[in-house]
Amino acid sequence: MTMKIAINRCFGGFGLSPRAEALFRRTEKVKPDDEYFSVYDIPRDHPILIKIIEKLGNAAWGDHSVLRIVEVPDDVNWYIEEYDGMEHVAERHRVWE
């Protein structure tokens, strides 16, 4: 089995369009005036986030983002690595110093 993860594939950083953010807020019942809510806090494997990006396509992209869904095996201990906003999914490894 695999899991889906949302990443940004251009320089600039992850972001959602106002339409995608509004849809997420509505679906997850986030109050419109909730000043503590940020799209940057949404887990990138959140099923609603994935569905919105898949449904809206490039209409889900923020101002400086090109969003992609990548699939990784379920048993991978993953994290998102980025450089200047360009992201990829990497697997965590053990490190000793």
Check: CB of residue 59 under 8 Å from CB of residue 15.
Answer: no
Per-residue confidence (pLDDT) for residue 70, from 0 to 100: 97
Least confident of 3-12, 15-24, 76-85, 86-95: 86-95
Q: What are the tens digits of pLDDT across the range 8-33?
A: 999 999 999 999 999 999 999 998 78
- Whole-number Å distance between alpha carbons of 32 and 43: 19
Which has the minimum average pLDDT: 36-45, 51-60, 88-97? 88-97
**Does the structure show a pLDDT above 80 at 86?**
yes
Q: Which two tokens stand for residue 34?
A: 């909730």
